Amino acid sequence: MKIAIDARKLRDYGIGTYVRNLLRHLSRIDNQTEYVLICQPQDYGLIEELGENFRPVAEPAPPYSIREQLLVPLDLRREAVDLFHAPHYVLPPLTPCRSVVTIHDCIHLRFPQYLPNKLAYAYARASLWVATHRSSRIMTVSEASKRDILRYFRVPESKIDVIHNAIDERFGEMPPVEEIERVRERYQLNDPFVLYAGNIKPHKNLERLIEAFHMLRRGDLEHVKLLIIGDEISKYATLRRAVHKYKLHKHVRFFGFVPDRTLAVLYRLAGVFVFPSLYEGFGLPPLEAMASGTPVITSNVSSLPEVVGDAALLVDPYQPEAIADAMRRVLTDQALRDDLVRKGLLRAGEFSWDRSVRRVREIYEEAAHA
């Protein structure tokens, strides 16, 4: 059997994490199937390291473009593949073979106000319709996302498989002492800090996090800092304005993108990890923080309660007072901290990329021979 996978987002956040772990674990469990990986030309080296049965095929068409709707099907036809896996919601209508798709969330339908224009909304809705109706099977990452798919599209529930994400192995490993000290010194981390890591987009709710941090610093916690890690910060001037509004420019730091090794250390140095997102298909950062032994506060909406279980403090993300109160409790109550750390380590251990990717591989077989 010859399987093609769209790997053009290999270096991205979010879906990129999914693609990297999918390919890494497929290479460990399957050295017989021929995999054709549609990728960016600069990713040839990474793909060739996977094994002899993984072959890169360059496709420069950018994701979410008209060109990909035409050129990806041509790649599939030329390679004569038996099955195509689209690891995000774009499945070209002209796909010439059986297909499976991973739909991580329905955020564009739940929050259309965050899209740049009505055309973007129409493109997203049409792409999701094609993905749900033309694919042989649909994979998603949480029961919450499955409910959203069923809410927006009339497909049989039996067509959808929930396969949870998991965390990269490095977050469960203690970094060397010298690496921890290097990060602490480079970023001048001399005070206790609250940490957020993830994409910088409106639904991540960072304006309310900054407001909650302002409330937290009243009283005896004015020495605490807030670190926000994520790409594209420059696109959201509202965050800078929020910092200026509360006169927090000396206490809130934006780091932008940091390497994974650095992120693993920052998780371990943080006093608490706060993830107040309004919507997540899965939400990997809280699990990464748990695996690093860091107490977690996150939202009580969408998939997040499903992911963290009883191992985090859940708050109403629309209430800055609730976020501030939870941060204050974690930073001042050692017994609560210890309990969250213990439960978090256990919870993170319940998710396994190996187990999840083995199930994906089974679905490939089922879809190809249906």
For residue 350, pLDDT over 90 is answered with yes
For residue 143, pLDDT over 90 is answered with yes
Burial degree of 125 (CB within 10 A; 0-12, 13-18, 19+):
middle
> Given strand 98-102, what is the order of strands in its sheet?
54-58, 34-39, 2-6, 83-86, 98-102, 137-140, 160-162
pLDDT tens-digit profile of 160-198? 999 999 988 888 899 999 999 999 999 999 999 999 998
Q: Give the Cα separation of 95 and 85 in Å (integer).
A: 11
Angle between helices 320-332 and 206-216 (to 10 degrees): 50
DSSP 95-163: --SEEEEE----HHHH-GGGSSSHHHHHHHHHHHHHHHHHSSEEEES-HHHHHHHHHHS---GGGEEE-
Residue 334, SS3 per DSSP: helix
pLDDT tens-digit profile of 14-24? 788 899 999 99
Q: Are the C-beta atoms of 37 and 55 separated by less than 8 Å?
A: yes
- Rounded (to 5) percent helix, strand, coil in the chain: 50, 15, 35
Q: What are phi and psi of 295, to 5 degrees?
A: -65, 145
pLDDT tens-digit profile of 257-302? 888 899 999 999 999 999 999 999 999 999 999 999 999 999 999 9
pLDDT tens-digit profile of 313-326? 999 999 999 999 99
334 conformational bin, left if phi > 0, alpha if psi -120 to 50, beta if neither: alpha
Q: Mind listing the domains of the chain with CATH numbers? A: 2-166+352-368 (3.40.50.2000), 169-348 (3.40.50.2000)
pLDDT at 149: 98
For residue 234, pLDDT over 70 is answered with no
What mean pLDDT do residues 233-242 have?
78
For residue 235, pLDDT over 90 is answered with no
Which residues lie below 8 Å from residue 55, measured CB to CB, with a gap of 6+? 34, 35, 36, 37, 47
Residue type, 168: D
Q: Are the C-beta atoms of 145 and 105 separated by less than 8 Å?
A: yes
Q: Say how many Å lie between the first and final Cα of the chain, rounded.
A: 14
pTM of the predicted model as reported, rounded to 2 decimal places: 0.90
Q: Which two tokens stand for residue 32?
A: 């017989």
pLDDT at 157: 97
